[in-house]
Amino acid sequence: QQPVQSPQAVILREGEDAVINCSSSKALYSVHWYRQKHGEAPVFLMILLKGGEQKGHEKISASFNEKKQQSSLYLTASQLSYSGTYFCGTGGSSNTGKLIFGQGTTLQVKP
């Protein structure tokens, strides 16, 4: 079962913040966040492996709540370059590298 991402789409002005959520009906062992720009391959942003772990990458950070089976991606002081579609991929217990992806959240940052 695919994880569910919310919101489906968001439009921001430069400098504004955004949160993208990823919820799973199954137990989570890892959450991988990717960003894809139009016409390009998804690019890895970060991975979260433990419950309650929070990781950061420039002004983009993420949290992972194992108990609630969800992860959130935080984009702070958004820049035009943040525009794209964000996907969360959830990993199972078998550690095959196989990920099940959410349907994606489209983020548009306007000047």
- Cβ partners under 8 Å of residue 98, min gap 6: 91, 92
2 binds other proteins (CB under 8 A): yes
C-beta of 8 vs 93, nearer to other proteins: 8
The answer to whether residue 19 forms part of the interface with other proteins (CB under 8 A) is no
Which 46-65 residues touch other proteins, going by CB under 8 A? Answer: 47
CB of 42 to other proteins, least distance (A): 5
- Residues 76-105, mask of contacts with other proteins (x by CB under 8 A): -----------x-x-----xxxxxxxxxx-
Nearer to other proteins, 82 or 86 (CB): 86
Q: Which of residues 34 and 82 has its CB atom nearest to other proteins in the complex?
A: 34
Query: Counting contacts by CB under 8 A, is residue 44 touching other proteins?
Result: yes
Half-sphere exposure of 5 (CA within 13 A, CB side): 24
- Token readout for 98 is 């196989």
* Intra-chain end-to-end CA distance of the chain, in Å: 37
Contact residues toward other proteins (CB under 8 A) are 2, 5, 8, 32, 34, 40-44, 47, 87, 89, 95-104
